Amino acid sequence: MEILISYLTRRQKGGVSRRTEERSAEALHFGRSANAEVYLADPRIRFEHAVVHQRPGGLFIEVEKHSDVRVNGQPTSNRSVIVGDVIGIGPFDVTLVEPPEGKDIAIEVELVRPLGDDYGQLAARSTVRLEDYGLSRRRWSWAGITGILIFFLVFPLLYFNQHTESTADKTVGARFDAVWDSGPVSSPHQFISDQCNICHEKPFIQVMDSACLSCHAPITQHFDLARAELAVIPQFSNLPATTCNDCHREHNGGKSLSISTESFCTDCHAGIEKSLANTSVKNAGRFDQTHPQFRPNIVSDPASRMFTRVSLDDPAALTEKSGLKFPHDAHLKKDGVRGPNGKETLQCGSCHNLTRGAANFDPIGMEGDCERCHQLVFDPRRPDRTLPHGQANNAQMLIREFYSDYGLRGGINDVQEPATAATRRRPGEQAPVTTQRQSDPRAWADQQAQRVADMSFGKTMCGNCHEVSSGEGKGPLNWSVVPAVVNKAWLPRGRFDHSAHSDMLKCDSCHAAQNSKQASDVLLPKIAVCQNCHGGENASNKVQSTCITCHDFHLPGTPRMGNTKAWRKHTDGDAALRDTQTPVAGQK
Ligand code: HEC
Ligand code: HEC
Ligand code: HEC
Ligand code: HEC
Ligand code: HEC
Ligand code: HEC
Ligand code: HEC
Ligand code: HEC
Ligand code: HEC
Ligand code: HEC
C-alpha cells in the first residue's frame, strides 16, 4: 500500500512545522524498530508497538500485547479504524486523514506528551484524590494563609497601633510585634530594644535616616561630597544616596554596628587623588605598612592663630611658634628647681594634668602651673601686689595707677634714691617724701611706671615667657605681648587615648621632653613608635587595629548627613549645596 506520513512539530510561538515522507509497504508498523515505517523515538514506545493493515473491510489496527494504544481516547487492543480517528500510541497522537490521489493511507504523527509528563499522566489516570481523605490542598492553603495573616499581621498591627506611644509591657508573648523580631538590637541601642517604633516609624517602610537623626542630629558627612569626583570609584558613585543603614547594620548579632573593615576605607584612601583631585591628604593603607607619617597641626603664626600641618619627617620645618618660651629641660633637672618653698623635683604631672577619664591632657595654664614659682611681682618692696596676667594693657594701667597713687600720697621709697636708714620703710610706715616727688609728682610717677614696665615686660616677667615688643615711638607704656596660643590637639584627625597607654609606657618613650630646650620643639612620637605595637586589622603579633580604631568617619566641619536631597541636586549640577555647608571648624 502507498503511505503518506506527516510528522508535525509545534513551535513555541504556536506555528506548526511539517515534515512528510512517502512509503510503500505491506503494512504500516509503528515502533522503535529501525524497520518500522513510522519510527517513534521514545523510551515509552515498544520495539514493535502496533501495526495497521489494509483489509477488505477497511483499515485495521493490531496492538502488540501490553502496549499502550488508545483510539479516540479509548484503550484498545485490536479493532478497525477509519479516517478521522486519532490513535494514541504512547505519547504520540496519530491522526488518520483523507489520503490524497494515489495514496492508500495518510497519517499525521505528533508528539503530544513529551517525556517528563509521566507523573501528570499517572496522576490524571489515578482515581485516588486528596480531597477524598479531607486533605484538600486548597482548603489547607487557605487555612494556613488566614492563620499567618491573623497571627503575624493583624495581631501585631493591632498591638502596634495600641502601643505607638510607649510600652512598659515587656512580657514576651503579650508582645505581638515580637514576631517580627529579626534578632536582638545592637548593644548601644539596647535601651530602646523594646520600643521598635522609635526606629521603625511607619509599618512596612524601611527605617529612615530621619529616625536615626532624631537622636544623632549632629552626624556629618565624611568629606564635602560636593568637592569630589565620585563617579570614578564605581562602588562609591552612589555615595550621596547612601543611608545610615548601608553602613550601620542593626539586628546584626554581636557584630559591630559600624562597617569596620580596612578595605572600606582603603578603597578610597589607597589612591585618594582618584576621588578628590586636588587634595593634600596623603595616601594611606594598612597601619604598619603604608600608612603615612603623622603630620601634626602646629602653630605657625600666633598673632593670626594660624596652624600648619608639618610632617614629623621634616625636622627643618617642625618649629612650633606658639608665642611661648619654655625650656622643659630647665624645669626637669634631676636635682630639682627653686620653688617658693625651696628646691623641688618636678614630674610631668606637676604641670600636665590628665582629667579623670579624659584622653588628652588639659592645656597648660599660667595661673595653675607656673605662677606659684613665677609670680608677677613688679616691685620687690610690695611682694603682695602682683600684675594681672593675660592682658598687657591692664597690667600697664595697674603699674601707672600704682605709682601715681604713691606719687601723690607717698608711701613708698623712690627706688632711684639709695636706701638709707632714714628712707627705708618699715611695715605700716609712710615713706618720707623726696624732693623730686614733692616738686613734680606726676612726672615722677610716669618715669617710675615706664621704668618698672620696661623691666617687667622686657626682662623679668612677661618677656621671660613671651615674645614682647615695647611699641617704640608710640608713646609711653606701649608694651605688647604676642598672644600665646597653646595647642590643644596636635593630631586632631587621629584618636589617641593617654589613659589606654599610661599603664604600659613611660611618658619619655613617646615624648623627648627631658632634653627639650625650647617651646618650639615638637615633642610628638613618630608613627614608628605606634607601629611597634599596632598592626593592621589581621595582624598576628601586634595589636589588631583597623582604621576606625584610630579614626572617626563622620569628620567635623563637613556638611550634615541625611540631606541626601541636597546632594542629589548638587550632583545634577545645582551649586546651591555649598551654601548649606557648615564652615570648617578651624582650631581656635
Ligand atoms: C535602633 C533602631 C532599631 C530598633 C530599636 C529596632 N530596629 Fe528593626 N531594623 C532597624 C534597621 C536599621 C533595620 C534594617 C533596615 C530596614 O530593613 O528597614 C531593621 C530591620 C528590621 C527587620 C527586617 C526588615 C527587613 O526589611 O529586612 C525586622 C523584621 C525588624 N527590624 C524588626 C524589629 C523589631 C520587632 C524591633 C523591636 C523589638 C526592632 N526591629 C527594633 C532598626 C531598628
Ligand atoms: C533613641 C535615640 C537613638 C536612636 C533613634 C538611634 N540611636 Fe544610635 N545611639 C544612641 C545612643 C544613646 C548610643 C550610645 C552612645 C554611646 O554609647 O556613647 C547610640 C550609638 C550609636 C552608634 C555608635 C555605636 C558604637 O559602637 O559606639 C551608632 C553607629 C549609631 N548609634 C547609629 C544609629 C543608627 C544608624 C540609627 C538609626 C537606625 C540610630 N543610631 C538610632 C541613640 C539612638
Ligand atoms: C568615598 C571615598 C572615601 C571613603 C570610603 C573613606 N574616605 Fe576618608 N576621605 C576621603 C576624602 C575625599 C577625604 C577628604 C580629603 C580632603 O579634604 O582633602 C577624606 C578624608 C579623610 C581623613 C582626613 C584626612 C586629613 O588629613 O584631613 C581621614 C583621617 C580619613 N578620611 C579616614 C578615613 C577612614 C578611617 C575611612 C574608613 C572608615 C575613610 N576615610 C573612608 C574619601 C574617603
Ligand atoms: C613646669 C611645667 C612642665 C613640666 C614639669 C612638663 N611640661 Fe610639658 N609642657 C609645659 C608647657 C608650658 C608646654 C607648652 C609649651 C609648648 O607648646 O611646647 C608643654 C608642652 C608639652 C608637650 C606638647 C608640646 C609639643 O610641642 O609637642 C608635651 C608632649 C609635653 N609637654 C610633655 C611633657 C613630659 C613628657 C613631661 C615630663 C617628662 C613634661 N612635659 C613636663 C610645661 C611642663
Ligand atoms: C617649681 C617652680 C617652677 C614652676 C612650677 C615653673 N617654673 Fe619656670 N622656672 C623655675 C626656675 C627656678 C627657673 C630658673 C631655672 C634656671 O635658670 O635654671 C625657671 C625658668 C623658666 C624659664 C626660663 C627663664 C630664663 O630666664 O631663661 C621660663 C621661660 C619658665 N621658667 C617658664 C615657666 C612656665 C611657662 C611655667 C608653667 C608652665 C613654669 N616656668 C613653671 C621654676 C618654676
Ligand atoms: C612664667 C611664664 C609667664 C609669664 C611670666 C607671663 N606669662 Fe603670659 N602666659 C603664660 C602661659 C603659659 C600662657 C598660656 C596659658 C594661659 O593662658 O594661661 C600665657 C598666656 C598669656 C596671654 C594670652 C592669653 C589668652 O587667653 O590668649 C597673654 C596676653 C599673656 N600671657 C600676657 C602676659 C603678660 C602681659 C605678662 C606679664 C605681665 C605675662 N603674660 C607673663 C606664661 C607666662
Ligand atoms: C594606631 C592608630 C591608627 C590606625 C590604625 C590608622 N591610623 Fe590613620 N592616622 C593616625 C594618626 C594619629 C594620624 C594623624 C592625624 C592627624 O594628622 O591629625 C593619621 C592620619 C591619617 C590620614 C591623614 C594622612 C595625611 O597626613 O594626609 C589618613 C588619610 C589616614 N590616617 C587614614 C587611615 C586609614 C585608611 C587607616 C586604615 C587602613 C588608618 N588611617 C589607620 C592613626 C591611625
Ligand atoms: C604611646 C605614646 C605616648 C605616651 C606613652 C604618652 N603620650 Fe603624650 N601624646 C602622645 C600623642 C600621640 C599625643 C598627641 C595627641 C593629640 O594631639 O591628638 C600626645 C600628646 C601629649 C600632650 C599634649 C596635650 C595633649 O594631650 O594632646 C601632653 C602634654 C602629653 N602628651 C603628655 C604626656 C605625658 C605627661 C605622658 C606620661 C604620663 C604621656 N604624654 C605619655 C603619645 C604618648
Ligand atoms: C607598647 C605598645 C603600644 C604602643 C607603643 C602604642 N599602643 Fe596604642 N594600644 C596598645 C594596646 C595594648 C591597646 C589596647 C588595645 C585594646 O584595649 O584592645 C592600645 C589601644 C590604642 C587605641 C584604642 C584606645 C581605645 O580607646 O580603646 C588607640 C586609638 C591607640 N592605641 C593609638 C595609638 C597611637 C596613635 C600610638 C602611637 C602614638 C600608640 N597607640 C602606641 C598598645 C600600644
Ligand atoms: C558610608 C558609610 C556611613 C554612612 C552612610 C553613615 N555612617 Fe555612621 N559611621 C560610619 C563608620 C565607618 C563609623 C565608625 C567610625 C567612627 O567611630 O566614627 C561611623 C560612626 C557612627 C557613629 C558613632 C561615632 C560618632 O561619630 O558618634 C554614629 C552615631 C553614626 N555613625 C551615625 C550615623 C547616622 C545617624 C548616619 C545616617 C545619617 C550614618 N552614621 C551614616 C560610616 C557611615
Which pLDDT value is given to residue 293? 97
CB 315 within 8 A of CB 523: no
| Digit-coded pLDDT (tens) for 462-486 | 999 999 988 877 778 889 998 888 8
Q: Which of 442, 460, 481 is the last residue of a domain?
A: 481
**C-alpha 460 to ligand 6 mean position (Å):** 13
Which pLDDT value is given to residue 344? 93
| Digit-coded pLDDT (tens) for 500-524 | 898 889 999 999 999 999 999 999 9
Q: Give the cell for residue 183.
A: 534578632
Q: Give the cell for residue 379.
A: 616691685
Do the domain assignments include residue 146? no
What is the pLDDT of the chain when averaged over all its residues?
82
Q: Is the pLDDT of residue 422 over 90?
A: no
| Digit-coded pLDDT (tens) for 48-105 | 999 999 888 889 999 988 888 999 989 888 899 999 999 999 889 999 999 999 999 9
How many domains, the chain?
A: 2
Using CA atoms, how far residue 381 sits from 104, 279, 330, 432, 456, in Å, is 148, 60, 28, 15, 14
Q: How many whole angstroms separate alpha carbon 19 and alpha carbon 438?
A: 142
**Percentage, residues of the chain above pLDDT 90:** 39
Q: Which of 481, 515, 546 is the last residue of a domain?
A: 481
pLDDT-derived band at 110 (thresholds 50, 70, 90) equals very high
Closest listed ligand to the CA of 203:
1
Least confident window among 181-190, 280-289, 546-555:
181-190
b/e 61-86 (16+ beta carbons within 10 angstroms → b) = bebeeebbbebeeeebeeeebeeeeb
Do the domain assignments include residue 136? no
Q: What is the pTM of this model?
A: 0.78
| Digit-coded pLDDT (tens) for 274-305 | 877 778 899 999 999 999 999 999 999 988 88
Q: Which atom of ligand 6 is nearest to the CA of 479?
A: 35
Closest listed ligand to the CA of 226:
3
pLDDT-derived band at 138 (thresholds 50, 70, 90) equals confident
Q: Is the pLDDT of residue 120 over 70?
A: no
Do the domain assignments include residue 477? yes
Burial of 206 (0-12, 13-18, 19+ CB in 10 A): exposed
pLDDT-derived band at 234 (thresholds 50, 70, 90) equals low
pLDDT-derived band at 574 (thresholds 50, 70, 90) equals very low
Do the domain assignments include residue 346? no
**DSSP state letter for 281:** P
Ligand 1 site residues (CB inside 6 A) read 177, 180-182, 185, 189, 192-193, 196, 198-200, 206-207, 245, 250-251
Assign 3-class secondary structure to 38-94.
EECCCCCCCCCCEEEEEECCEEEEEECCCCCEEECCEECCCEEECCCCEEEECCEEE
Q: How many whole angstroms separate alpha carbon 482 and alpha carbon 174?
A: 70
Closest listed ligand to the CA of 509:
8
Q: What is the mean pLDDT of residues 5-23?
A: 88
CA angle 103, 108, 114 (to 5 degrees): 155
Q: Is the dihedral of CA 339, 341, 345, 348 positive or negative?
A: negative
The closest residue, in CA terms, to atom 11 on ligand 6 is 366
**Residue 426 structural domain:** 365-481
Q: Is 352 in the pocket of ligand 7 (CB under 6 A)?
A: no
Which pLDDT value is given to residue 146? 94
Q: Residue 39 sits in a domain of what CATH number?
A: 2.60.200.20
Q: Which of 125, 144, 161 is the last residue of a domain?
A: 125
Which pLDDT value is given to residue 37? 92
Do the domain assignments include residue 93? yes
Q: Is 249 in the pocket of ligand 10 (CB under 6 A)?
A: no
Cell 538590637 sits on residue: 185
Q: Which atom of ligand 10 is nearest to the CA of 562?
A: 38
**DSSP state letter for 338:** E
Do the domain assignments include residue 395? yes
Q: Is the dihedral of CA 261, 265, 269, 275 positive or negative?
A: positive
pLDDT-derived band at 163 (thresholds 50, 70, 90) equals low
Do the domain assignments include residue 432? yes
At 313, is the secondary structure helix, strand, or coil?
coil
Do the domain assignments include residue 46? yes
